[in-house]
Amino acid sequence: MNRTHKIKLEKEYCDSVYYGDKTFEVRYNDRGYQKGDLIRFIPVDGIYNITHPINDKEYEITYVHSGFGLNEMFVVLGIKEKKDEHNTERD
């Protein structure tokens, strides 16, 4: 069963993730991230939550990299925006 993780994202990275330029996250693996899990980002400016269009988006974990080249407690997550299946255009 896929889980949804609510994780903080510093404001300096919000635009890059929102516009699809940053398609990965390096995270401490305290949640057991798995391919197929979902992420909802909580934009923050230091310690305070802020408003950003990313608040309304959901991202799917498409790949989990651990080991080779990383501290054993960290992972690199491949992410992509999860599109709303009910709002797809029809030909």
- The pTM (predicted TM-score) of the whole model is 0.86
Contact 59, 7 (CB under 8 A): no
Name the token pair of 60: 């799917």
pLDDT at 4 over 80: yes
Topology at the third CATH level for domain 4-85: 2.30.130
Which helix (H) or strand (E) is 24 found in, with range? strand 24-28
Distance between CA atoms of residues 79 and 5, nearest Å: 13
Residue 90's pLDDT is 46
Separation CA 16–CA 27 (nearest Å): 17
**What pLDDT digit, counting tens, does each position of 28-40 carry?**
999 999 999 999 9
Indicate the domain borders of the chain: 4-85
User: What are the pLDDT digits (tens) for 31-86?
Assistant: 999 999 999 999 999 889 999 999 999 999 999 999 888 898 999 999 999 987 65
